[in-house]
Structure 1
Amino acid sequence: MLFNTECQIKGKISINPNFITFATHKLSTLARIYFRNIALFMSIWLIVMVIYAISNRVTDLEYLWKFSLLPALFLGLLAVLATFLGQTIRVKKGINWIFLLAAVAVDQAIKAYLFSLEWESISIPLIKPVFYIEPTQNTLGSYLWVLLRLKQGSHLLNMILFSLVGLIFVEVWRFYVNRKRNSFWINGFIHLFLAGLLANLIDNGFWGGSLDYITIKPFYTFDLKDLYITLCELFLVAELLDNRLLKRFFQMPKEDSKRLNRDFIRFVKNDLRIGRKKAE
């Protein structure tokens, strides 16, 4: 009982000790989840930025704190919002096409507006001397080709490659939610991933490459779809930690691992076979 009956008769109200224990445990668990997710979102950015700063020998303190801390705080706020939504909303099965199309539409609307201007000459400081709006077109269509130092890439090859990657990720997601759970984190992961993927396909098929517009000087330029992909990676890590999947994966017996692989292959075959039947 929440209140002590004997104390109520005497005109006093006292809270049941069991309720206090339950509430304390609940608040402690929530605080731990919030702290973990904030630390996760912020620390990954800080680690990457420290590597960038060291490799490029950045020593300007004003630059370093704006370069590292401000985006980390932004990601920390996103972690708070995402954790709150994860604790309060009920996740539905399947893809939320309204969210997905809206996310892609925002990314493409920004690019359509920039392409309507003389975007090559745009340089708008957001936070000096680090963040600027400086549009640049990646005609390779993929950062993969930049990493491989290729001077020319195939947009058709990009579209085929990313479509195959997207199909694999969707099947892994469907297999996971059918066997495990459909949590906020895994649901957010697939939506953000698909938003980034669709935006990338449109960039390659319609714009002739990705139009990136947010520059972190002197390192790189990115766009909204890159933020989607970054967040989807963070959501995936949060799901792995939330469900203790990494620990289970590394401790999984060899036979169980083989069985899991067979089950996944069987699931994909059945999934694609059902899709063909529906199409017919």
Structure 2
Amino acid sequence: MTRDNTRDIRVSLAILLLIILDQGIKLVVRSYYGVSIPIIEDLIYFKPFLNDKYSWMNSMFNFGLGKVFHVVLTLVILILAHYWFTYMNNKGGYSKIGKILQIFLISGGLCSLIDKIFWNGSLDYIMLKGFFIFDLKDIYINVFNAILIIFVIKHRKRISKINEKEVLREYFKFIKKSLIIK
């Protein structure tokens, strides 16, 4: 087994574990609708809620975008992310941080897709009083965001030298080539 195969298996297992954890919690939480238990009084509560608007943006701004739109959007993002991580791996730019980013983004995205298809929304259960209710999947996506922001700030000088148009051109050529070969 090659080093890349071992890395891929580890990443896949980590993604699977995070998905099982998220969905397993939801299987337990679903029987607690209507319950509100303080975790930290006046700050954090356990309060299960089904967000049937499919995304926080759709909920906040009442865009009225339905399930099919959100499923397709999530699938497109997951496919583009998969190809991005594969592209970066092939370019030699796939580091430990890249693996961590991939694990959290793909886990969060797949959990989101499962929520939309099988839960008909997002079963959120952690409430920050006065703000919003979220779940483990949202934490995965925000961990991805935080690590990415820290990475970009830390490497801003190197990143500023990158020709974004050229990278995007190569990335889409890579996707096209990948689709033609298969």
State the TM-score, normalizing by the size of structure 1.
0.58
Note if contact 1:186-1:239 (Cα within 8 Å) is conserved in structure 2: no
Which residue of the partner structure matches residue 104 of structure 1? Answer: 19
Aligned partners of 1:105, 1:198: CA distance in 2, in Å? Answer: 11
Distance 1:146 1:99, change over 3 A: same
Structure 2, unaligned runs of 5 or more: 1-5
Note if contact 2:18-2:107 (Cα within 8 Å) is conserved in structure 1: yes
Which residue of the partner structure matches residue 263 of structure 1? Answer: 170
Aligned partners of 1:208, 1:239: CA distance in 2, in Å? Answer: 34
Q: Which has the higher strand share?
A: 2
Note if contact 2:81-2:106 (Cα within 8 Å) is conserved in structure 1: no
Tell me the alpha carbon deviations over residues 196-227 of structure 1, each in whole angstroms, 9 at most, x when there is no partner: 11111111111111010000001111000000
Match for 1:144: what amino acid? Answer: M
Aligned partners of 1:153, 1:105: CA distance in 2, in Å? Answer: 28
Which is higher, the Rg of structure 1 or of structure 2?
1
Note if contact 2:50-2:122 (Cα within 8 Å) is conserved in structure 1: yes
Match for 1:271: what amino acid? Answer: S
Q: Shift in Å at residue 113 of structure 1? A: 1.2
Which residue of the partner structure matches residue 126 of structure 2? Answer: 214
Tell me the alpha carbon deviations over residues 230-268 of structure 1, each in whole angstroms, 9 at most, x when there is no partner: 0011222233345x2x3233334xxx5443332222111
Aligned partners of 1:251, 1:259: CA distance in 2, in Å? Answer: 12
The percentage of counterpart residues that share the same residue type is 27
1:159 aligned counterpart, secondary structure: helix
- Aligned pairs for 1:221-240 (under 5 A) are 221-240=133-152
2:62 aligned counterpart, secondary structure: coil
Distance 1:169 1:136, change over 3 A: same
Note if contact 2:104-2:143 (Cα within 8 Å) is conserved in structure 1: yes
Tell me the alpha carbon deviations over residues 6-47 of structure 1, each in whole angstroms, 9 at most, x when there is no partner: xxxxxxxxxxxxxxxxxxxxxxxxxxxxxxxxxxxxxxxxxx
Match for 1:162: what amino acid? Answer: T
CA-atom RMSD in angstroms: 2.0
State the TM-score, normalizing by the size of structure 2.
0.87
The alignment status of 1:131 with 2:44, answered yes or no, reads yes
Q: Shift in Å at residue 125 of structure 1? A: 1.0
Ranked by relative contact order (alpha carbons within 8 Å, sequence separation 6 or more), the top structure is 2
Match for 1:125: what amino acid? Answer: P
- Aligned pairs for 1:1-280 (under 5 A) are 93-94=7-8, 96-115=11-30, 117=31, 119-150=32-63, 152-242=64-154, 244=155, 246-252=156-162, 256-274=163-181, 276=182
Q: Shift in Å at residue 121 of structure 1? A: 2.1
Note if contact 2:85-2:94 (Cα within 8 Å) is conserved in structure 1: no
